[in-house]
Amino acid sequence: MGRSYTLVVVKIIMKKMKIMKKIILLFSFVILFLGIFVFYLFPIQAMIVPQVYFTNLTIDKINFNPGDIITGTVSLWNYEQFVISDLVFNFQLLGDEVDGVPTKMINSQMDSNIFQLSSGEETDKSFSYTLPSNLPTGNFVFRIQLSNSRGEEMSWEDKIITIGGENKFLTLGNYWIVKDGVKLSPGGGVDYKSGEIPEIIFDVNNDSNFTVVAFPKIITYKRNQGQFLQENKGADIILKPEQKQTIEAFLPQLTDPESYLSEVRLYDTETEEEISSLIYFRWIISGQDDAEILYVNPDKDSYEAGEEAEIDIQITGPAHTYSEDTHLIPAEEGVVEVSLFNQEDELMCQGNQEVSLESGQVSVSCVVSEDLVNPKIETKIIKNDKILDDYKFEVESKNIPSEGSSEEKISFFEKNKKIILFIFIGFILIMIIIFYFKNRKGSLSVLILLILFSMGILFNTNNVFAATEVDGGLCDTTIAFNKPVPNHTYNGGDVINFSGKFRVTSCGDGLFFNKITFYIAEDKEIPLTTANACNGCLGATSSGYPQSTCSCGWCNQIQVLQENNSNFKVYKLGTIYPSDIASGAKPYWVEYNQNFIIPDNLDGLGFSSGPVRFYVQYSGTHWNSHWHWNITYQPGFLNINNPPTVNNLSVLKGDCCSNPSYHLSWTYSDPDSDTQSRFGFQADNNSNFSSPTVNRDILNLSNPSPTINNQTIVVSTSPDTPGSNQFAYNTTYYWRVNVWDSELTDSGWVNGSSFITPRHRYPTVDFNWSPNQPSQDEDVQFTDQSVVYGEASKSSWSWAFLDGTPGSSSTQNPIIKFLSQGIKTVTLQITDSSGYTCSKTENVNVNIKLPGWEEVIPW
């Protein structure tokens, strides 16, 4: 009985274990479904500014004087899947480069023309920028920066220009925010209480030969240039040539919690024209009633009635989100509201979404009530019925669907694709459960197929990916990824440019101990490893802090790429250590601009031609409190070794009279600049090269830089059938060439144009004369002894006699006289009945005229 009881207990336990197993599996499926659902509705978004790329910049000239107008054209490429509106050019004149990054702002002007780019649009834009009337002389960087009207920066392109002129200009430098008697970084985002008045200090240098009377002007913006708040004018100063003066001034007294940017520049008192470089001060009034809209991007530029409009929005929260004990303050809740209006300001749709007021990205949708073209978009951040930020702009409808156009109508599936997809996934989930619990044969296989099929349906979209963030850190860091452009192909030996910027998202303030590393990696997820950021600051340095102070309170453990993992191919191109943001043309950005050469030996490191990732890895501190880091990559392609090419294949027929041959030549080129190491050459009277008449495979082992790019093949002379490596007469020949580069990659066979050799040999011209050494005015008999070939006969003769009478003759064997003594040239040209012509020239030595004589009878 005890044994039977034990068996019953065991069976009950096993049965319960099977049920539990099924429950666990069912629970896993539900979690999978919910995970997909959440992922699809709320995708992880990196704080990467909208991806627009400059692919070209041309300007009318490079030499200018102050007051000149720079005109040119830029090529822009919107790589995003949404419309990017409210775009504007910001023209900047920059100087004093360090590691390719300008550190001085000479001038900055925002264009008045606002435009937009449709999804995937590539276009050329013309521009003009008037240089200030007062400028220093020398070489400068002209930068055309793309931003929105709020001053949120995107991509840019640079050109070096030269400026002449009188050099009436002041330079501002050595600038600081002064708080509690301490000089602090002007780009560090110094924190103030509401109503406090920030003090600043800076030097004015007059390096010109003019005495300048000028006044300072302080313009303050909300967060960035573009959102103007107020302007303050200071007292006049007088600077003699080579004089320096230190100026103490105050920024405006403001009360609203906000991140502010104050711009300082001097103006000529008499003309009120700009006469100095620009400096910027970043400062903050902290508080939770602060949030900003950075970018707003609609999915389309026009909508039909009943269509769902999706608006992508990047926001950031209060400037400071940590307390004095270095712990994060929990983000407060708010609402992002989007409204679409028509041209009569009638509301067409409105949507909102609750968000945490911190840096991030949100998508808000609403259904449009009527057809909508040229929509006006208004976006608000609201907290407790208080509007924290309000952003308005208009979208120009470029592609308006025609009335009744079936191609442009939005289908029911397009309007409701999310709902349909999730109903479909729910159906798949139910089918999976039924198959599993009924234990049907092959249920596991069907289950797997259904999962794969449903995931394929879900993710089979036309998404376009540009720069992709792998790890953005625990603290909000934003990257403007400027170069390289996505999906570009690089060869070994090519130069690849990495340029971009990093900043603290919430307020764009201080970053120190900066370190940026650049990699090429294979196109798959590379594992990350945890590094202790305070262990020597990861090797970074700081001009503002000694190494010993690198002891941040939180965000200490950061993620970095595993460089030495044998299962993954990662090649480090190099590392740089940008200066603290106290320096720079705009000191709240950590900018980089580095060129690297793609190594030729990546194949030896396991890389092969195909897709790769170009990584940028950043780490740095926000002041001395916590770490920021960001790992981002741009997709691209690598061509390990491009094959060489053969072109300009040409055939040159030699002189068939004296040198019956063909000179066949080609041009070798290699996109990798590899030298030619070998070539193959074949010629045959069969187009399939089944038994080549000439077959040469040359190894240039003794010549490290071979230039062999031709072959000369003789035409058989005697007999008329060809010998080894010779051409025959009256034959069509085909020829081809194959070349190898120094990496032993070949071009493949490349065919030249076929040609036909002559029907037979050309005439062999010969003649003699009698007497052999004639005298002046003596009759000379010339006799043709030429030979023609094949079945040809002699067709014509053409004689030419130097100083002869007659001077020419067309008879076969002419008799002539020479009119003077000396060496005389005689040329005979023979043309046979096939039309082949050859000639020969001989020298005849003519003696002096014989004396006259007369017979006399002796008696």
The domain defined by 646-756 carries CATH number 2.60.40.10: yes
Q: Is the pTM above the cut of 0.85? A: no
Q: What is the mean pLDDT of the segment spanning 179-197?
A: 87
Query: CB-based contacts of 560: which residues, under 8 Å, 6+ apart?
Result: 528, 529, 531, 538, 617, 619, 629, 631
Share of the chain above pLDDT 90, in %: 52
pLDDT at 2: 47
Query: CB-based contacts of 690: which residues, under 8 Å, 6+ apart?
Result: 684
Candidate from 109-123, 324-338, 429-443, 816-830 with smallest mean pLDDT: 429-443
Q: pLDDT (tens digit, 9 = 90+) per residue, 764-820?
A: 999 999 999 999 999 999 999 999 998 899 999 999 999 999 999 999 999 999 999
Overall fold of domain 52-163: Immunoglobulin-like (2.60.40)
Q: Look at the block and give the residue holding tokens 């004018």.
A: 233
pLDDT classification of 137: cutoffs 50, 70, 90: very high
State the amino acid at position 762 in one-letter form: Y
How far is 856 from 772, CA to CA, in rounded Å? Answer: 30
How far is 31 from 422, CA to CA, in rounded Å? Answer: 14
Q: Which residues pair with 373 in a beta bridge?
A: 302
pLDDT at 25: 52
pLDDT at 655: 86
Q: What is the mean pLDDT of the segment spanning 684-712?
A: 76
Please provide the distance, in angstroms rounded to a whole number, between the alpha carbons at the two ends of the chain.
Answer: 183
Q: What is the mean pLDDT of the segment spanning 544-550?
A: 65
State the amino acid at position 508 in one-letter form: G
By the 10 Å C-beta count (0-12 exposed, 13-18 middle, 19+ buried), 519 is classed as buried
- Within 10 angstroms of residue 83's Cβ, the number of other Cβ atoms is 24
Structure tokens at 659: 């040198």
Q: What is the mean pLDDT of the segment spanning 358-381?
A: 93
Q: What is the mean pLDDT of the segment spanning 18-45?
A: 47
User: Degrees (nearest 5) of the Cα angle 583, 589, 594?
Assistant: 85
Q: pLDDT (tens digit, 9 = 90+) per residue, 103-112?
A: 999 999 999 9
Spell 47-82 as b/e; 16+ CB within 10 A means b: bbbbbbbbeebebeeeebebebebebebebbbbbeb
Strands 153-163 and 528-532: unpaired
pLDDT at 23: 54
Overall fold of domain 767-846: Immunoglobulin-like (2.60.40)
Q: Is 187 or 22 the better-scoring residue by pLDDT?
A: 187
If we measure between CA atoms, which residue out of 101, 91, 79 comes closest to residue 143? 91
Candidate from 140-144, 536-540, 837-841 with smallest mean pLDDT: 536-540
The domain defined by 170-285 carries CATH number 3.40.50.150: no
Q: How many helices (H) and strands (E) does the chain have?
A: 4, 55
Q: pLDDT (tens digit, 9 = 90+) per residue, 841-859?
A: 999 999 988 666 566 666 6
pLDDT at 173: 92
Distances (CA, A) of 150 to 119, 219, 227, 341: 21, 15, 5, 21
pLDDT of 448 strictly over 60: no
Q: What is the mean pLDDT of the segment spanning 434-443?
A: 54
Report yes or no: 80 and 119 within 8 Å, Cβ to Cβ: yes
Question: Using alpha carbons only, how large is the chain's radius of gyration in Å?
Answer: 42
pLDDT of 166 strictly over 90: no
At 242, give phi and psi (nearest 5°).
65, 15
If we measure between CA atoms, which residue out of 197, 264, 199, 198 comes closest to residue 237? 264
Candidate from 71-85, 119-133, 398-412 with smallest mean pLDDT: 398-412
Q: What is the DSSP string of 549-610?
A: G---SB--EEEEE-TT-TTS-EEEEEEE-PPPTTSSSSTTSEEEEEEEEPPTTGGGGT--SE
Q: What is the mean pLDDT of the segment spanning 709-737?
A: 80
How far is 612 from 636, CA to CA, in rounded Å? Answer: 5
pLDDT of 630 strictly over 70: yes
Instruction: Report domain extents, the chain.
Output: 52-163, 170-285, 292-398, 468-639, 646-756, 767-846
pLDDT of 380 strictly over 50: yes
If we measure between CA atoms, which residue out of 186, 208, 215 comes closest to residue 198? 186
CATH for 292-398, among 2.60.40.10, 3.30.1240.10, 2.40.110.10, 3.30.9.10?
A: 2.60.40.10
DSSP-derived letter for residue 849 is P
How far is 73 from 125, CA to CA, in rounded Å? Answer: 5
pLDDT of 329 strictly over 70: no
What is the assigned CATH class of domain 468-639?
A: mainly beta
How far is 336 from 362, CA to CA, in rounded Å? Answer: 8
pLDDT classification of 745: cutoffs 50, 70, 90: confident
Report yes or no: 285 and 384 within 8 Å, Cβ to Cβ: no
On average, the pLDDT of the chain sits at 83
User: Degrees (nearest 5) of the Cα angle 415, 354, 299?
Assistant: 35
Structure tokens at 515: 């370190």
Q: Is 43 or 260 the better-scoring residue by pLDDT?
A: 260
At 358, give phi and psi (nearest 5°).
-145, 175
Q: What is the DSSP string of 671-740?
A: TT-PPEEEEEEEEESSTT-SS-SEEEEEE-TT-SS----EEEEEBP-SSSS--TT-BPSS-EEEEEEEEE
Q: Is 168 or 42 the better-scoring residue by pLDDT?
A: 168
Judge if 170-285 and 292-398 fold alike in CATH terms. Answer: yes
Report yes or no: 185 and 582 within 8 Å, Cβ to Cβ: yes
How far is 292 from 223, CA to CA, in rounded Å? Answer: 9
How far is 438 from 445, CA to CA, in rounded Å? Answer: 14
pLDDT of 339 strictly over 70: yes
Report yes or no: 346 and 365 within 8 Å, Cβ to Cβ: no
How far is 633 from 499, CA to CA, in rounded Å? Answer: 12
pLDDT of 457 strictly over 90: no
Q: Is 539 or 385 the better-scoring residue by pLDDT?
A: 385
pLDDT of 391 strictly over 80: yes
Report yes or no: 137 and 35 within 8 Å, Cβ to Cβ: no
**Is the CA virtual torsion 239, 241, 245, 251 positive or negative?**
positive
pLDDT at 809: 95
pLDDT at 87: 96
DSSP-derived letter for residue 441 is T
pLDDT classification of 1: cutoffs 50, 70, 90: very low
Q: Look at the block and give the residue holding tokens 């950075």.
A: 294
Structure tokens at 299: 């999915």
Q: What is the mean pLDDT of the segment spanning 479-493?
A: 91
Report yes or no: 62 and 131 within 8 Å, Cβ to Cβ: no
pLDDT at 45: 43
Share of the chain above pLDDT 70, in %: 80
Crossing angle (nearest 10°) for helices 417-437 and 2-41? 170
How far is 641 from 658, CA to CA, in rounded Å? Answer: 45
Report yes or no: 540 and 312 within 8 Å, Cβ to Cβ: no
